[in-house]
Chain A
Amino acid sequence: MKVKMLSRNPDNYVRETKLDLQRVPRNYDPALHPFEVPREYIRALNATKLERVFAKPFLASLDGHRDGVNCLAKHPEKLATVLSGACDGEVRIWNLTQRNCIRTIQAHEGFVRGICTRFCGTSFFTVGDDKTVKQWKMDGPGYGDEEEPLHTILGKTFLLGSCASDRNIVLYDMRQATPLKKVILDMRTNTICWNPMEAFIFTAANEDYNLYTFDMRALDTPVMVHMDHVSAVLDVDYSPTGKEFVSASFDKSIRIFPVDKSRSREVYHTKRMQHVICVKWTSDSKYIMCGSDEMNIRLWKANASEKLGVLTSREKAAKDYNQKLKEKFQHYPHIKRIARHRHLPKSIYSQIQEQRIMKEARRRKEVNRIKHSKPGSVPLVSEKKKHVVAVVK
């Protein structure tokens, strides 16, 4: 007699703890799961829509300055601490988690032109219009002490940056005490920022509404020209991951650019935000701060639709899956349209239209000139090379 028995391994259907998910046996036979592409397409469409629905990047506004915020600095070791210098010479230290000001110093008379922290985070330096450089302790003064700088350097220009105002960018090597090279662009460069993950790449924010990413070894051609702003770009800061950077512009908006794209992926603006003078990307790469003319510092999410707080593993998996779907179907017109849609203030929108027309006219003229002149006599200059006037050795 033959005895047949059903035998099942409990490992296959019993979960280890009560908190585990129930094991669901799956059959991956493709015949049972038809219409892969249409289903995934719909999922991608939904994900894209939801991304737009949940895109609420504005987090907080820190008010307290009595004049436009001229410069920002991050604390090198504390994520929550931010320093800001205003146009009236006031320096404030903020706590981002509590969203309040923890310390106020009247540092200079006139503008605070620059502010930077020491690498260890124990003190910071400010440069003012009153021709002084002051060093301050990061922690507040003790009980009964007065707010005083540690050191004051008078009457000296203290060169911290390496870009100059006469349309050029100069590179220095601190060890050699000689400038290395100089690029002259069409218009003045306001700020440069080095890519934190790629040592030889830097991006310059220019007055001609564009940003230029350079490889410092080959300055005659920028690696990428980033254009989307409709007014002078005043500040630029890299994400600590080195994959993106944020730029602040005179056109009352900030934009986020991927390093390898010439167009921005995101634009942030509010009705009340005026000319944005300075912008910083926090060191955990999750937030962006910008200081603007109307005395406020604003805190934004770097990824507009990202959920804040702790994610469960299922949420994380869903997020990753949606992200991948969006990437996969990004070229589909419907999805592309939804993903690209942004609301813009009327002024920026109309300026964009205007500039598009101008640009088109210029291009047309150039094409006509080439067409009607002796072949070869009018060279075709690429967009990248157009903006570099000269490289001085």
Chain B
Amino acid sequence: MTANRLAESLLALSQQEELADLPKDYLLSESEDEGDNDGERKHQKLLEAISSLDGKNRRKLAERSEASLKVSEFNVSSEGSGEKLVLADLLEPVKTSSSLATVKKQLSRVKSKKTVELPLNKEEIERIHREVAFNKTAQVLSKWDPVVLKNRQAEQLVFPLEKEEPAIAPIEHVLSGWKARTPLEQEIFNLLHKNKQPVTDPLLTPVEKASLRAMSLEEAKMRRAELQRARALQSYYEAKARREKKIKSKKYHKVVKKGKAKKALKEFEQLRKVNPAAALEELEKIEKARMMERMSLKHQNSGKWAKSKAIMAKYDLEARQAMQEQLSKNKELTQKLQVASESEEEEGGTEDVEELLVPDVVNEVQMNADGPNPWMLRSCTSDTKEAATQEDPEQLPELEAHGVSESEGEERPVAEEEILLREFEERRSLRKRSELSQDAEPAGSQETKDSGSQEVLSELRVLSQKLKENHQSRKQKASSEGTIPQVQREEPAPEEEEPLLLQRPERVQTLEELEELGKEECFQNKELPRPVLEGQQSERTPNNRPDAPKEKKKKEQMIDLQNLLTTQSPSVKSLAVPTIEELLSLVSSQEDEEERNHRQMIKEAFAGDDVIRDFLKEKREAVEASKPKDVDLTLPGWGEWGGVGLKPSAKKRRRFLIKAPEGPPRKDKNLPNVIINEKRNIHAAAHQVRVLPYPFTHHWQFERTIQTPIGSTWNTQRAFQKLTTPKVVTKPGHIINPIKAEDVGYRSSSRSDLSVIQRNPKRITTRHKKQLKKCSVD
């Protein structure tokens, strides 16, 4: 339909065009005819034309020059009528005949129809298209404006703008498109084929694939993690073992061994509780070890080493100890283990322990308490340490043995203990005496101590007995529960077992006294070892453990405070107090001397310089130089005699001297310590900006930017970094892609509009054109 209508309209249009064009043709033909006919009329016409040219009356006269032979509808001329030929004029003659009604109707219908406007020629249409397209494109492009503006004004641009993800192609993809071509490659592939190595899917062999299928990824990961962990643990363990193996200290190894033995014992006890059968097996093992020991002479001081030690033992304490140790070990190993522990028998063991425990504590406390002299204190404690090192290895096994021992071992350790203790006492007292004599302190009490050392020991024994009696009933209950708690309780004991027995002035007999001792000690002693306190606590309150720690804490705090106050004061007083004034005076005098020396040195070094005078001189010179100079125009010998030794007369000089005008006062006239050079320095000018640079509108803006420093010398690190951020940052090796439409969030939506226009370009008419123009203006 539309096509039909279009065609119709086009037809009508073409007709109209013809109508419009034809008159011209007619005129042309007419003029040709005229040329052939008479010149007169021609002349007249020319005259008329000329007359019409200058005047305003340009209207052509309607004249029908000649009747043509054939009058056609096309030759109708409207020339001269001054108005267009109207349809009504044509219809008038038709009116009379009714036979032409149909034609009339048609004509009227034509009349009612509106005429279609002229289509534009092709060039114009194309131009319009171009303009439209340009406007559209410009509009579309202006969508980039904000992005571009933002980028232009950005403080810093880091290229590439969008973070690119590194695309890693799996090796299969890379290799899938690759084929073997050269003979060498083919040969290699053949080899791979033979060995069932993967070729096309180059990652996995069939075996590997199967294994991969067997285990899921997570499982594999877990497994791997486990393996890794195990490996790591193993390596740690190995490293640790190596480290421990390297340790040369024998004592350390002994302790370790002991620890191990203890642990084994503990485990055994536990096992006995939990799993009696397994415990029996263990027991058998121990029994076997015992048998082996009995069979062998390993620990019976019969070896080479033991013999050498035996020779040494007379003179060397350590050798003696070592021998004893070995013997004790032998004893320990050859002891028969008893599965069920009897309460009665154990009491004996505990008794010993207690005996050992309590006196130590007491002694130590006493020793610490009695030392008013800090120097002595230190020596004492060091002694205790030494003793500890000597004693510990010996005593520990004993204790362990006691823990599980029978009554037969009861007497021996005690005796041994006594012997050792005695030895130590003797040594200690000797040392102490010498120290005391050096310190020149009244040590009467100490002397009495020495004499009464044996007494003290016995007293101690009594005391421990008492203690034991106090706790006996409780102990029995505890022991009936099993050996484990006992062992645990005894653990701290070996550490406490400091054989400092004799250093104390009075006896301590009851628990209360012991407590008080502890307190005293807190106030007096700085180096109170915590284990002692713990030992006390454990001794005193084995039952009510929960409240023990609190007390401990309190005590510790007190100790600290007291330490600070008391320990420092004596030493300071002894040294500093009497000499402080002297010292001060000494120091001050020394300082004075130094200063004097320093000054002297400086004076000597700059002996010739007098800076102030030099400066004044310089200033005077500068002032002189800056003064405008008089111009002397006298010519010697002019108007008078001249020659060597003759000077122009004063009058003449005065006459020809042009005095310079007084300049403005100097700026540094009232500043005695400053010279201000008022001349423009040419050398400085090379480093000064003469014209205000472009972006600045006022000189103070520029000056301000110059005066704010940006270096790290004047700015904090953060500020420095901020001030020196470069405007554009590019990374080497990164491709910077051009900005994309997607970045702006713009898609070519306007395209549809354009395409509509393109599809039927004929529709654009002058009206459209006008609209477009408006648009473009807007």
Contact = CB atoms under 8 A, between A and B. Distances in A.
B130 A179 contact: yes
A334 B687 contact: yes
A393 interface: yes
Contact of B687 (A176, A198, A333, A393): A333
B705 interface: yes
A41 B711 CA distance: 11
Contacts of B182: 143
28 contacts: A3-B564, A39-B711, A40-B710, A173-B133, A175-B748, A175-B754, A196-B737, A197-B739, A198-B144, A198-B152, A200-B141, A200-B144, A216-B137, A240-B737, A241-B736, A242-B151, A284-B731, A284-B732, A284-B736, A317-B724, A320-B724, A320-B726, A321-B711, A321-B712, A321-B720, A333-B686, A334-B687, A393-B130
A332 B688 contact: yes
B693 interface: yes
Contacts of B200: none
B241 interface: no
Contact of B151 (A143, A197, A283, A317): A197
B730 A393 contact: no
Nearest to A321: B724
Interface stretch (A109-117, A226-234, A322-330, A371-379): A322-330
Interface string B19-62: 00000000000000000000000000000000000000000000
A333 B733 contact: no
Interface stretch (A28-36, A124-132, A381-389): A28-36
Given A284-B732, A321-B712, A393-B131, A241 B157 contact: yes
B375 interface: no
A52 interface: no
Contacts of A197: 148, 151, 738-739
Interface residues of B, number: 61
A361 to B, nearest CB: 26
A14 interface: no
A256 to B, nearest CB: 14
Nearest to A42: B687
Interface string A12-38: 000000000000001010100100110
A43 interface: yes
Contact of A30 (B134, B159, B714, B723): B714
A367 interface: no
Contacts of B732: 284, 286
A176 B714 contact: no
Contacts of A329: 706
A58 B209 CA distance: 54
B148 A324 contact: no
A181 B130 contact: yes
Interface string B685-707: 01111100100000000100111
A77 interface: yes
A143 B185 CA distance: 11
Contacts of A285: 159, 730, 736
A181 B126 CA distance: 12
A16 to B, nearest CB: 16
B181 interface: yes
A178 B130 contact: yes
A6 interface: no
Contact of B736 (A39, A240, A317): A240
Contact of A217 (B129, B138, B157): B138
B749 interface: no
A121 B377 CA distance: 88
Which of B130, B686, B705, B725 has the largest number of chain A CB atoms within 10 A? B130
The 4 closest A-B pairs by CB, nearest first: A196-B738, A143-B181, A240-B736, A36-B709
A328 B706 contact: yes
Contacts, number: 149
B714 A240 contact: no
A144 interface: yes
A79 interface: yes
Given A285-B736, A393-B127, 19 more contacts: A1-B565, A37-B707, A37-B709, A40-B711, A43-B711, A79-B733, A79-B735, A175-B751, A199-B144, A217-B142, A240-B738, A241-B159, A284-B731, A285-B159, A320-B724, A321-B720, A323-B726, A332-B688, A393-B131
Interface in A208-228: 216-217
B75 interface: no
Interface of A: 1, 3, 26, 28, 30, 33, 36-37, 39-41, 43, 76-77, 79, 142-144, 171, 173, 175-181, 196-200, 216-217, 240-243, 283-286, 317, 320-321, 323-325, 328-329, 331-334, 393
Contacts of B725: 320
A44 to B, nearest CB: 10
B243 interface: no
Contacts of B151: 197-198, 242
A181 B137 CA distance: 11
B129 A178 contact: yes
A223 to B, nearest CB: 12
A28 B713 CA distance: 8
A176 B735 contact: no
Nearest to B183: A143
B728 interface: yes
B711 A284 contact: no
Contact of B735 (A33, A284, A325): A284
Interface in B721-759: 721, 723-726, 728, 730-739, 748, 751, 754, 758
Contact of A328 (B131, B141, B181, B705): B705
Contacts of B693: 331
B445 interface: no
Contacts of B739: 196-199, 242
Given A285-B159, A332-B689, A241 B733 contact: no
A243 B735 contact: no
Interface string B141-182: 110100010011000010100000000000000000001011
Interface string B467-508: 000000000000000000000000000000000000000000
Given A241-B157, A393-B131, A36 B707 contact: yes
B588 interface: no
B716 interface: yes
Contacts of B711: 36, 39-40, 43, 321, 325
Contacts of A180: 130, 133-134, 137
Which of A40, A179, A181, A197 has the largest number of chain B CB atoms within 10 A? A197
B736 to A, nearest CB: 4
Nearest to A327: B727
Contacts of B733: 79, 284
B738 A39 contact: no
A177 to B, nearest CB: 8
A324 B723 contact: yes
Contact of A33 (B713, B723, B748): B713
Contacts of B710: 40, 321, 324-325, 328
A173 B137 CA distance: 8
A328 B159 CA distance: 24
A284 B714 contact: no
Contact of A216 (B129, B138, B148, B181): B138
A323 B710 CA distance: 11
Given A33-B713, A197-B151, A284 B705 contact: no
B724 A176 contact: no
A304 B131 CA distance: 45
Contacts of B129: 178
A334 B687 CA distance: 6
A286 B148 contact: no
A243 B154 CA distance: 12
